[in-house]
Amino acid sequence: MRASYIAAVCAVLVLLLAEAQLSVAAATCSPSELSPCMSAITSSSPPSKLCCTKIKQQKSCLCQYLKNPSMKKFVTSPNAKKVVTTCGVPIPKC
């Protein structure tokens, strides 16, 4: 009886942790997080350290942004590619 109770509690904890990780991952893909990069993307100024940090944090979201028609032009522009490369983030192949 006690072993089945412990197994049930462990199963619930695993499910809760998995759900929490999914919601955190979903919440992190926010284009507004890249706002420190806008001046570098829209002009030829070099990216700031904060911009590079944000791009590295949003790296897993870049394909999602590429699939969004309103975001694609910002992600595929020559300056955006230059910023990503300067920050040491590989350009994703989606």
Q: Which residues of the chain have pLDDT under 70?
A: 1-27
Q: 58 lies in a domain?
A: yes
pLDDT of residue 68: 92
Q: 94 lies in a domain?
A: no
- Domain with 49 in it: 2-86
How many domains in the chain? 1
Q: 91 lies in a domain?
A: no
Helical ranges in 1-94 per DSSP H: 2-28, 38-42, 49-57, 62-67, 69-76, 78-86
pLDDT of residue 75: 85
Q: What is the CATH number of the domain that holds 20?
A: 1.10.110.10
Q: 23 lies in a domain?
A: yes
